[in-house]
Amino acid sequence: MLTKYEQELTKPFKEAMFFFSTIESQLKGLTVASSSSDSAGQNGSSEDELDATDDFIDPRAEDKVLKVKLMRKYSGYLGSLKQEFMKKRKKGKLPKEARQQLLDWWSKHYKWPYPSEAQKLALAESTGLDQKQINNWFIN
Which tops the pLDDT comparison, 6 or 37?
A: 6
| pLDDT, tens only, 50-94 | 444 455 556 666 777 877 887 777 777 767 777 776 665 556 688
DSSP structure string for 4-24: HHHHHHHHHHHHHHHHHHHHH
How large is the average pLDDT for residues 91-103? Answer: 86
For residue 131, pLDDT over 80 is answered with yes
The Cα-based distances of 134 to 59, 79, 92 in angstroms read: 50, 29, 14
**Domain 96-139 falls in which CATH fold?**
Arc Repressor Mutant, subunit A (1.10.10)
Mean pLDDT rounded to a whole number for the chain: 76
User: Residue 65 has what pLDDT?
Assistant: 80
Domain range list for the chain: 96-139
User: Residue 112 has what pLDDT?
Assistant: 87
Residue 105 CB neighbour total at 10 angstroms = 19
